[in-house]
Amino acid sequence: MSMKMVILGLLLERNMHPYEIKLVMKERTMDQMMKLQMGSLYYAVDKLAGEGHIESVEVIHSSDRPDKTIYRITDKGKTLFEQLVLQQIKKTDIFYHPLYTALAFSRHIDQSKVEKLLEERIRETEHRVNYAYQVYEEHIAVVPRSALHAMYGKYEHSLTELKWLKRLYADVTERKLNDVGTPLDL
């Protein structure tokens, strides 16, 4: 996901300063959809401002903390935003799950170690499933349906991963990873 696209999209909703953008990104769990580093956020804001895609509308001065610059999106920024959204929708990048390669060879190692790691992974994924659904529920009255689709998509992907991990775990506990010629229990 493009940091520039997220910044521009959030500025379409309302004028904000970079730290506020970060807070909204975290609240909507965008930090789980992309790398979120304050340095890259500020860099992208500076770059967008330098290119005329966003502009300063107000600088709030404070004696005990750094000045806050409030930004808004420009017409040029709206055009770029549309291009970035359409590019992102067109992307068909193949997702390489980190477990796929390990699974191909996991039958050659101590299955109790694989079992233990899968137990941990299942617990983490259960937490992700519950959290993703909670985020979706909490935002129904707050964000547009387009954002709800992203949130619910995160929930469904996590749920699918959980089902897959549990099926894999069952095969590991029954020591079936070496079996050949039997279909999976779907």
Question: Do the Cβ atoms of 141 and 153 come closer than 8 Å?
Answer: no
Query: For 16, which DSSP code?
Result: B
Structural domains in the chain (count) = 2
Q: Is residue 162 part of a domain?
A: yes
pLDDT at 26: 86
Length of the chain: 186
Q: Is residue 119 part of a domain?
A: yes
Q: Tokens representing 11? A: 């500025």
pLDDT at 65: 84
Closest CA to 6 of 17, 19, 24: 24
| Co-location of 14 and 86 in the same domain | yes
Helix (H, G, I), strand (E, B) or coil at 68: strand
CA distances from 74 to 52, 55, 171, 181 (A): 7, 7, 55, 61
Question: Do the Cβ atoms of 93 and 113 come closer than 8 Å?
Answer: no
Residue whose pair of structure tokens reads 């309302």 in the numeric block? 14
pTM above 0.85, yes or no: no
pLDDT at 38: 64
pLDDT at 94: 83
What is the pairing mode between strands 54-60 and 68-73? antiparallel
| Co-location of 71 and 46 in the same domain | yes
Element (H, E) at 153: helix 145-173
Question: Do the Cβ atoms of 171 and 177 come closer than 8 Å?
Answer: yes
| Co-location of 122 and 86 in the same domain | no
pLDDT tens, per residue, the chain with 186 residues: 589 999 999 999 999 999 999 999 888 888 777 776 767 889 999 999 999 999 999 998 888 888 899 999 999 999 999 999 999 889 888 888 889 999 989 989 999 999 999 999 999 999 999 999 999 999 999 988 988 999 999 999 999 999 999 999 999 999 999 899 999 988
Helix (H, G, I), strand (E, B) or coil at 29: coil
| Co-location of 8 and 28 in the same domain | yes
Q: Tokens representing 155? A: 């929930």
| Co-location of 82 and 125 in the same domain | no
Residue whose pair of structure tokens reads 């804001």 in the numeric block? 45
Q: Print the domain residue range for 17.
A: 3-90
